[in-house]
Amino acid sequence: MTKGIKLDFSKTLQAVPDIEDWVRAIIPRLSAADRAVRSKRDSGVLGFFDLPYLNRGKSDIKNIAEYINENFENMVVIGIGGSALGNRLLHGALNHPYYNQLTAEDRRGCPRIYVRDSIDSDSLKGLLDILDIKRTAFNVITKSGGTVETMANFLVLKDMLVREAGSDRAKKSIIATTDASWGDLLGIARQEGYRVLHIPENVGGRYSVLSAVGLLSAAVSGIDIEELLSGAEYADRDCNGGDPYQNQALMGAALQYIAWQRGRPVSVVMPYSDALYHFGDWYCQLWAESLGKTKETDDGKIQMGQTPLKAVGVRDQHSLLQLFLDGPDDKIFTLFEVEKRKNSFVIPAGDKYCENLGYLGGSTLQKLLDSEFRATESVLTKRGRMNYKITLPDISPHTIGQLIFLYMLMTAYMGELFGVNAFDQPAVEEGKKITYRLMGRPGC
């Protein structure tokens, strides 16, 4: 049985000795945040809570995944924001690191997976250069059914597909993932007879990775989605109640909130695992779009939000670490370690001509990586830089499911502590209106 992922804040205690006083001081607020989130959950407005349960054992996603698997060589996910970053997270973490470059046999016959969240013409041409469009399934994802980038890409690609493969084959190659009851995409899908999957009305884009949004392409590439959901359920049961010492999602939120209170508006995630590279981008959207809000108070408007920053260990020790250590003390660091990797490489004894490297001989890459992790933890702590770590027993669908759920819950708690709505994104609407006007949309 997979062990749970663990948040360990012992380094925070060393770096900022009075941190526990700060945590204790806000325990009533933390408990209130937990009650508020539970109450919203009970009233059905926070749909992401239900996803681990709703989708267990369901056949619709699996049936369509099987259909794609049997009939196509490639799958292109057309989406943007929450309809793209979750897919990248899952593939980056759980598929082969060079999945799309494997032979079909090494992919066990599963299609290659591409995520298209750009409207850059040159990268679209690049994608078309390497795909046989007739052997490609397109999963177009937009909850509202009207996301302009997604629909523009969809219209361009559908048109090509019809021309190259014919209208009948095109209809069979397109899968629409959208709201169950309204929107332009749903209208087209019904008229054309596309296969359709639904996003629950109460699940926002950046909280949707465990819905059909993320699960379909995961299932197509052979990721065990039951295990993923089971991991999320595990985290849901594990992170419970208003005591931060018993609920690590609440402790995570408490540390981030205290960091913000104490002049650390930048929140760095730094996984020491290449598999978690795309987790960073997913986190950045979740954190930025949920918590970057202006709130009205009796004293006027206050601009809230932490700036999320993705770093990667060990690479960014040779890039960002100098700033992290000697620059302004305005950051809180979450370091991620993975206890057990699938592979091990022994470093051979160095040549006699490089005596300085002799100490590496007989050690392993993993030991070197672990040593660098500990070194970074240690220098950050020594300089009083607030940091804590999250340990994953391994990288598996179960632990990734846990991690996703932990972070969605932590974000919901942060919304309560910040006093902002963590589930809307009002500011981006203004830019959309300007785009509509520039593009000549009627009435704009």
Catalytic residues: 289, 318, 432
14 binds its own copies (CB under 8 A): no
- Measure the CA–CA gap between 440 and 432, rounded to whole angstroms: 12
Quick check: 288 binds its own copies (CB under 8 A)?
yes
What are 75's two structure tokens?
A: 């799958």
Out of 285, 387, 396, 399, point to the residue binding its own copies (CB under 8 A). 285
Instruction: Tell me how far apart the 2 most distant CA atoms of the chain are, in Å.
Output: 76
Closest to its own copies by CB, 25 vs 427, is 427
Q: Which of residues 128-157 bind its own copies (CB under 8 A)?
A: 129-130, 146-149, 151-153, 155-156
3-state SS assignment for residue 208 = coil
d(CA 238, CA 233): 8
Altogether, the residues listed in the chain come to a count of 444
Nearer to its own copies, 53 or 359 (CB): 359
The answer to whether residues 286 and 411 touch, using CB atoms and an 8 Å cutoff, is yes
Near its own copies by CB under 8 A, which window of 18-26, 42-50, 248-256, 368-376?
368-376
Q: Which residue in 330, 384, 419, 421 binds its own copies (CB under 8 A)?
A: 330
Contact pick of 17, 97, 193, 419 for its own copies (by CB under 8 A): 97
Residue 297 is a binding residue for its own copies (CB under 8 A): no
Pick 243 or 351: Cβ nearer its own copies = 351
Of 205, 193, 202, whose CA–CA distance to 149 is shortest?
Answer: 205
User: Among 289, 381, 388, 403, which residue interacts with its own copies (rule: CB under 8 A)?
Assistant: 289
Report, in Å, the least distance between residue 38 CB and its own copies: 26
In contact, 219 and 227? CB cutoff 8 Å? no
Q: What is the amino acid identity at position 193?
A: G
DSSP E strand stretches across 258-386: 266-271, 294-297, 300-303, 307-310, 331-340
Q: Which stretch binds its own copies (CB under 8 A): 97-105, 194-202, 213-221, 405-413?
A: 97-105
67 binds its own copies (CB under 8 A): no
Residue 320 backbone class (left: φ over 0; alpha: ψ -120 to 50; beta: rest): alpha
Q: Which is nearer to its own copies, 82 or 252 (CB)?
A: 82
Does residue 300 touch its own copies according to CB under 8 A? Answer: no
Q: What is the DSSP string of 104-143?
A: TTTTTTPPEEEEE----HHHHHHHHHH--GGGEEEEEE-S
- Which residues are paired to 309 by β-bridges? 268
Distance of CA 366 to the CA centre of its chain: 25
Among 106, 132, 164, 243, indicate the residue that binds its own copies (CB under 8 A): 106
If one asks whether residue 36 binds its own copies (CB under 8 A), the answer comes out as no
What tokens appear for 427 in the block? 């500011």
Beta-bridge partners for 340: 394
Closest separation between CB of residue 91 and its own copies, Å? 13
Residue 125 within binding range of its own copies, rule CB under 8 A: yes
Q: Supply the minimum distance, in Å, between the C-beta of residue 343 and its own copies.
A: 4
393 lies in the binding site for its own copies (CB under 8 A): no
Using the minimum distance from each CB to its own copies, give the nearer residue, 26 or 119.
Answer: 119
Q: Among residues 39 and 435, whose Cβ is nearest to its own copies?
A: 435
Q: What is the spatial distance between Cα 154 and Cα 139, in angstroms, rounded to a whole number?
A: 9
Q: Does 321 participate in binding its own copies (rule CB under 8 A)?
A: yes
Q: Which of residues 408-427 bind its own copies (CB under 8 A)?
A: 425-427
* Site map (CB under 8 A) of its own copies, residues 176-195, x = contact: --------xx-xx--xx---
Nearer to its own copies, 41 or 172 (CB): 172
Residue 155 CB: number of other CB atoms within 10 A?
Answer: 12
Amino acid at position 426, single letter: P
Q: Is 347 in the site for its own copies (CB under 8 A)?
A: yes
Q: How many helices (H) and strands (E) does the chain have?
A: 18, 12
Buried b (16+ CB within 10 A) or exposed e, 42-73: eeeebbbbbbbeebeeeeebbebbeebbeebb
Between 200 and 239, how does the x/- string for binding to its own copies read (CB under 8 A)?
-----x----------------------------------
**Of 37 and 304, CB closest to its own copies:** 304
From 2, 58, 124, 230, residue interacting with its own copies (rule: CB under 8 A): 124
| Closest among 332, 201, 220 to 265, alpha carbons compared | 332
Q: Which stretch binds its own copies (CB under 8 A): 62-70, 133-141, 171-179, 360-368?
A: 360-368
